[in-house]
Structure 1
Amino acid sequence: MPPSEFADSLGFSVLHGQDPTQAIEKLIHDPTISSEIRLPPNKGLQSRVKETVSTIMEFGQSCHGAEASPCVIHLVVKYTDDLREALIQNTMAGGNSAGRNMIVGMILGAHLGMEAIPKPWLTELAAALEIDSFLDSIW
């Protein structure tokens, strides 16, 4: 299972009602997943009490799975109920924050729903009406 499938499995579990931290713990203890894939997320899980920006700097800011995976997991478990703060802290850490934010947004969005997105982030978009129209068409 490559890191992308780990993220997909996590997103699927959370979308179907599982708590993000519990879903992560279940995946990192799944013997069918290689230890090479389970180790980086486990590092992220263990780092949840650490300060975010320095933790991401320690893990690495790039988009490679071994570096991005623990960063994403750190953000998800530390900010499970605060999508806004997760995205802000990740952005402040720099590097490939956009890539990490896509995955964090997918997981915490599945967990918290649309209500978690700060209203100004939606209403102040130049294409807000077009985006709303598109979202209405797919729901």
Structure 2
Amino acid sequence: MQTHNERFRGCLIGGAIGDALGWPVEFLRLDEIKRKYGPQGITNLVKGRTNLVEITDDTQMTIFTAEGILRAESRGNNKGIVHIPSVVHRSYLRWLDTQGVSTEVEKDGWIHSIEGLHTRRAPGNTCLDALMSGKMGTMEEPLNYSKGCGGVMRTSPIGLVYKKEEAFMLGCESASITHGHPSGYFSAGVLSYIIAGIVEGFDLQTAVEQSLGELKLYPNSDECSVLIEKAITLTKSDTPDIQAIESLGEGWVGEEALAISIYCALKYQDNFEKALIIAVNHNGDSDSTGAITGNILGAYLGINSIPEKWVREVELSVELTQLADDLVKTYEDSEGWHQKYPGW
């Protein structure tokens, strides 16, 4: 039985490792990956131009989602009222500032001060444009009709803190800040729900199936639910992994990235390393499918099931560990906590 600290660390660091594993091959086709890294594709973390095993915007924005949750909890505990998506939006504006786009949002708290976050790692144009618009997107009043995977790839921390149904809705609301298509935000809700189910002690198959049941309660969710059902069915077939993933898409959009990740996590649910290698060696958005698979299986198997070398090598591992432990606490009434996570 995994402790909360083991699951939370596994989720955040597992996601960062999947992100870093897929980042060098994100824009390569599978045949190009195999030519560069061998017939098995990329199978280990590699250092980037900065001589670090680099994370990308996927993990950066996941970190700021976590910060938004913790700042929202600070505000709720101190002021008695809080609209969580609005606080998360402000944290995304702090992320935008780290990307070199000046914003008027508060620059306090410890996350914005992490030097390693102040670098561009191929941020998504939809996220940048939406956050620069000066408006906050919602499901009811979307800023665009994008269903890119930039919504789902950042919402796993929501499932660590909130119960399943609340996590689903908060995941949707947080993704809809930048992505207005139902598949762009429903995929995020499903990921948050799956993580919440794992934290509540359900086995992975049950957590996925329950998330599907929740998803089907909402109109305009068919596109997302059909692909998830297909992913589940494929895990029980003899279809080779490469063909299975190809039939689910390339992962550039929310429902495809989620479905590919669900397939990899369910198919190899006892083997974190194998699942991640399968999740990144395909024609599509390798870092996002790697990140989401890492979030799911990291939470399910815990930090101790992740290769220790990977945990040690991935960029911001120490900071991610601290953030995960803070998410376990959720709130602490101390001066140090209020300085780390001020409630605006």
TM-score when normalising by structure 2? 0.36
Which is richer in helix?
Answer: 1
The equivalent of 2:101 in structure 1 is none
How far did 1:126 drift?
7.1
Corresponding residue SS for 2:281: helix
Residues 126, 98 of structure 1: alpha-carbon distance in 2 compared, 3 angstrom cutoff: closer
How far did 1:19 drift?
0.9
The equivalent of 1:41 in structure 2 is 228
The equivalent of 1:22 in structure 2 is 206
How far did 1:134 drift?
5.5
Residues 135, 54 of structure 1: alpha-carbon distance in 2 compared, 3 angstrom cutoff: same
How far did 1:118 drift?
0.7
Corresponding residue SS for 1:76: helix
Following TM superposition, the consecutive aligned residue runs of length 4 or more in structure 1 with deviations greater than 4 angstroms are none
Question: 2:228 & 2:286 partners in 1: Cα distance?
Answer: 17
Q: Percent same amino acid among aligned pairs?
A: 24
Q: Is contact 2:279-2:293 (8 Å) kept?
A: no
Q: Is contact 2:251-2:260 (8 Å) kept?
A: no
Question: 2:320 & 2:262 partners in 1: Cα distance?
Answer: 30
Q: Which runs of 5+ in 1 are unaligned?
A: none
Q: Is contact 2:251-2:289 (8 Å) kept?
A: no
Residues 6, 61 of structure 1: alpha-carbon distance in 2 compared, 3 angstrom cutoff: same
Q: Which runs of 5+ in 2 are unaligned?
A: 1-171, 173-185, 326-344
Residues 19, 137 of structure 1: alpha-carbon distance in 2 compared, 3 angstrom cutoff: closer
Tell which structure's C-alpha radius of gyration is larger: 2
Residues 134, 25 of structure 1: alpha-carbon distance in 2 compared, 3 angstrom cutoff: closer
| Counterpart residue type for residue 42 of structure 1 | E
| Counterpart residue type for residue 229 of structure 2 | N
Q: Is contact 1:59-1:70 (8 Å) kept?
A: yes
The equivalent of 1:92 in structure 2 is 281
Q: State how many pairs are aligned.
A: 136
The equivalent of 1:6 in structure 2 is 190
CA RMSD of aligned residues (A): 2.2
The equivalent of 1:118 in structure 2 is 307
Question: 2:322 & 2:256 partners in 1: Cα distance?
Answer: 36
The equivalent of 2:254 in structure 1 is 65
Residues 119, 4 of structure 1: alpha-carbon distance in 2 compared, 3 angstrom cutoff: same
The equivalent of 1:32 in structure 2 is 217
Question: 2:227 & 2:203 partners in 1: Cα distance?
Answer: 20
Question: 1:51 & 1:12 partners in 2: Cα distance?
Answer: 30
Question: 1:56 & 1:113 partners in 2: Cα distance?
Answer: 25
TM-score when normalising by structure 1? 0.84
Question: 1:25 & 1:64 partners in 2: Cα distance?
Answer: 21
**Higher-RCO chain (CA-CA 8 Å, sequence separation at least 6):** 2
Q: Is contact 2:258-2:292 (8 Å) kept?
A: no
| Counterpart residue type for residue 106 of structure 1 | N
